[in-house]
Structure 1
Amino acid sequence: MKKVVEKASTVDEAVDKVVEKYGLQEDEYTVNILEKGFQGIFGLFSKEAVVEVQIKRAYFERRLKEFLKDILSVVDPGVQLSVKSSGKSFFVDVKSENIGKLIGRHGKTLGALQHITMIFLNRLSDTKLNVILDMGDYREKRKKSLEKIVEEAVKKALSEKTKVVLDPMFAFERRIVHKLVKKYKGVISYSIGVEPYRRVVIEYNGSRREGRRKHDIKESI
């Protein structure tokens, strides 16, 4: 996820520079020696050591957990977090006695927290990473709620042969809606607007071929 090349008089010094700079713990990196270096004779013909330090996912998991812990502890000092990762996605589960405050109305606080944690994590990495934050099984509960919303919207779009514009949603919610709409015939879905007011439109499609229009934009979690 991140490789750092460093130079110093010796291999140990080069590694120490990286460890200190990033605050790495012993099990969070591996070292590949590119050049062992040479101190030379009487200061002549010396050559610096060069190392490549590979920062492991354990580092990103720890930093992500620490970052969120500092923020959420303001609301609940006893908040508990667990972080797991797979590929380029990091899954964070939060348990708290004040879970309602942390989620916020309509999940707005949860969405904002996910956004800033994703920014934080990607500043540490060389590649783009995803953060999927959940609190009190909010995502599963929200999915069930969205199923009802989509069902009603599809009924209206089909009966009135029109389009229904849903309320603004987070990216992960829009993605769920698009998947749900694909189960129905005669309607399509697409997103309009810009964040944080981006909405899903469910539109009557009649006998036309099912699928998204050219202006549809693929959603991300």
Structure 2
Amino acid sequence: MPTYEGSDIQAAVNEGLQAMHLTREEVSVDVLEAGKKGFLGFGRRLAVVRLTPNEQPSQVKQSAPAPVQQSAPAPVQELVEPTPTDNLTSTPQKRKSGVETEAELSAYLEAITAQIGIPVSIHVTHDHRSTTYHLKTDKEGLLIGKHGKTINALQYLAQTYFDHHMKGKQTIILEVGDYRQRRAAIVSHLADKAAREVVATGKPVFLEPMPAFERKIVHGHLATNHHVQTHSEGQGDRRSIVVELARTF
């Protein structure tokens, strides 16, 4: 029997029903491939089903009694979509090698930047707790974006991709030129300025919202300043650091 494909099982069944000019009640469905949505454009698979027309009910013999004694057609089995076993949290995804994940992530970043008109070349460096993807382009300003919004958004996607494919905890950093180094110096300067203001006025200072890795710089930079303490407030991309006087007991 022919097979039919679709983005999911139901779509594949609908494709088959249309081609065979039959209704759902007139066929039996065999799921050959459940399909997979994939992640960030990788690993997507179509669902595949086989449709078999149900046999026509046997004709009632002439000697049969009242129609109520006719053999009813076999009940049509309900289509239940199986739960995919290869989703984002499944073991096969988690067991990808670091080399394979690194290559796929580099290809993904190259594809995105090409689509927004900022083609890049990438080389990767490693240390104990982080992996840095160095993006080289002639349009560094556009790739970084206002206040780093573009490169930070790409870094969030890259970190999410890595976390879904690898078991080990590793920080993914996207670097354009020496932007991260320059930004770390700026953030440290803002932290020192806020600390001086807190000591002078006794009032807490709220810094501008920052991504997690920049907040980490502030917390670490002011950790040795015994006059102030820091904590984060807010949600998502509006989360920021509060610098206040250190509590004394």
Report the TM-score, using the length of structure 2 for normalisation: 0.58
Native 8 Å contact 2:118 2:137 kept in 1:
no
Match of 1:144 among 185, 195, 200: 185
Which sits farther off after the overlay, 73-82 or 140-149? 73-82
Q: Indicate whether 1:192 and 2:244 are aligned.
A: no
CA deviations 1:30-83 (Å, max 9, x no partner) are: xxxxxxxxxxxxxxxxxxxxxx9x643111110111010101123456411112
CA radius of gyration, larger in: 2
The 3 A distance-change label for structure 1 pair 181 and 70 is: same
> Which residue pairs with 1:67 in the alignment?
108
**RMSD of aligned alpha carbons:** 2.6
Match of 1:201 among 232, 238, 242: 242
> Which residue pairs with 2:147 in the alignment?
106
Cα distance, 1:147 vs structure 2: 2.0
Native 8 Å contact 2:110 2:119 kept in 1:
no
The 3 A distance-change label for structure 1 pair 189 and 77 is: closer
Number of residue pairs matched?
A: 160
Cα distance, 1:129 vs structure 2: 4.3
CA deviations 1:68-112 (Å, max 9, x no partner) are: 010112345641111234556332111111111111111111111
- For structure 1, the 5+ residue unaligned runs are 1-20, 23-51, 210-221
Q: Indicate whether 1:174 and 2:206 are aligned.
A: no
Query: AA paired with 2:165?
Result: L
Q: For the residues of structure 2 that align with 1:102 and 1:77, how far apart are their CA atoms?
A: 7
% identical equivalent positions? 28
The 3 A distance-change label for structure 1 pair 146 and 155 is: same
The residue matched to 2:235 in structure 1 has which SS? coil
CA deviations 1:170-218 (Å, max 9, x no partner) are: 1110000011111322100110111110000110126x16xxxxxxxxx
User: Using CA pairs below 8 Å that are at least 6 residues apart, which structure has the higher relative contact order?
Assistant: 1
Cα distance, 1:148 vs structure 2: 1.6
Cα distance, 1:118 vs structure 2: 1.6
The 3 A distance-change label for structure 1 pair 147 and 87 is: closer
The 5 Å alignment of 1:83-162 reads: 83-86=124-127, 89-162=130-203
Native 8 Å contact 2:118 2:143 kept in 1:
no
CA deviations 1:126-166 (Å, max 9, x no partner) are: 45543111112111001111122112111110011111000
Q: For the residues of structure 2 that align with 1:137 and 1:185, how far apart are their CA atoms?
A: 31
Q: For the residues of structure 2 that align with 1:136 and 1:56, how far apart are their CA atoms?
A: 28
Q: For the residues of structure 2 that align with 1:89 and 1:100, how far apart are their CA atoms?
A: 24
Q: For the residues of structure 2 that align with 1:92 and 1:68, how far apart are their CA atoms?
A: 9
Query: AA paired with 2:131?
Result: F
Report the TM-score, using the length of structure 1 for normalisation: 0.65
The 3 A distance-change label for structure 1 pair 77 and 134 is: closer
Deviating above 6 A after TM superposition, structure 1's stretches of 4 or more consecutive aligned residues are: none
